[in-house]
């Protein structure tokens, strides 16, 4: 009920009430003491707020606030190029390994004498993939790779949080 009265008082102050609502306000002012106090309080606050001077902000207020925000952010989050260097190094090693593999494969005599190089590459790499499948299918490899993967993901998490906090978080574990 109080919310209804507050809405009615606010509309009265803004001169948006109908004749029926104005009559209702008059009746409530005569009959309801709580409404009368609430009405006087709203009216008093409105008059005092209306009389307050309005100050304009300086033109450089936005730039000042943004510079303060940016100064706090740059201190807190310094860019680390560690992750980028590691990923780039791994990609370079993979590309170099593939280049050396295919250049070595191209220099073999039986590869140069065949007309279908795809079949030669398939026959040459098939034993390697069979051997790798046996290694990957073993229970020991899965356990070790799972643990290593968890450790790597954990270290990436700490690296992204920041190098400074990395030592503190390791001490917690």
Average confidence (pLDDT) over 138-156: 84
* DSSP conformational letter for 116: -
Residue, of 125 and 162, whose pLDDT is higher: 125
Q: What DSSP assignment string belongs to 66-118?
A: HHHHHHHHHHH-----HHHHHHHHHHHHHHHHHHHHHHHHHHSHHHHT-S-HH
* Long-range CB contact pairs, 55-62, < 8 A, 24+: none
Q: Give pLDDT tens digits for 66-82.
A: 888 777 665 545 566 77
Portion of the chain with pLDDT greater than 70, in percent:
73
Instruction: Return the CA Rg of the chain.
Output: 38
How far apart (Å, rounded) are the C-alpha atoms in residues 56 and 31? Answer: 44
Q: Give pLDDT tens digits for 36-68.
A: 888 888 888 888 887 778 888 888 888 888 888
Residue 9 buriedness (CB in 10 A; 0-12 / 13-18 / 19+)? buried
Does residue 120 sit in helix, strand or coil?
helix
Phi, psi of 19 (to 5 degrees): -65, -40
Average confidence (pLDDT) over 27-41: 87
For the chain, what is the mean pLDDT? 77
Q: Give pLDDT tens digits for 110-135.
A: 555 666 666 766 777 778 778 877 87
Q: Give pLDDT tens digits for 87-114.
A: 889 999 989 888 777 666 666 655 556 6
pTM: 0.33
């Amino acid at each position: 009920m109080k919310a209804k009265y507050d809405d009615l008082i606010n509309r009265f102050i803004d001169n948006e009430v109908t004749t029926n609502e104005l009559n209702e306000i008059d009746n409530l002012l005569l009959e309801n003491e709580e409404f009368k106090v609430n009405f006087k309080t709203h009216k008093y606050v409105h008059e005092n707020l209306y009389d307050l001077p309005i100050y304009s902000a300086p033109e450089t207020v936005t730039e000042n606030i943004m510079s303060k925000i940016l100064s706090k952010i740059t201190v807190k989050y310094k860019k680390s190029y560690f992750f980028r260097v590691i990923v780039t190094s791994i990609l370079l090693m993979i590309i170099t390994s593939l280049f050396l593999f295919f250049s070595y494969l191209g220099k073999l005599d039986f590869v140069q004498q065949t007309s279908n190089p795809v079949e030669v590459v398939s026959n040459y790499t098939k034993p390697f993939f069979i051997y790798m499948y046996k290694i990957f299918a073993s229970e020991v490899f899965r356990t070790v790779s799972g643990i290593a993967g968890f450790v790597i993901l954990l270290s990436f998490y700490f690296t992204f949080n920041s190098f400074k906090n990395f030592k503190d978080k390791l001490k917690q574990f």
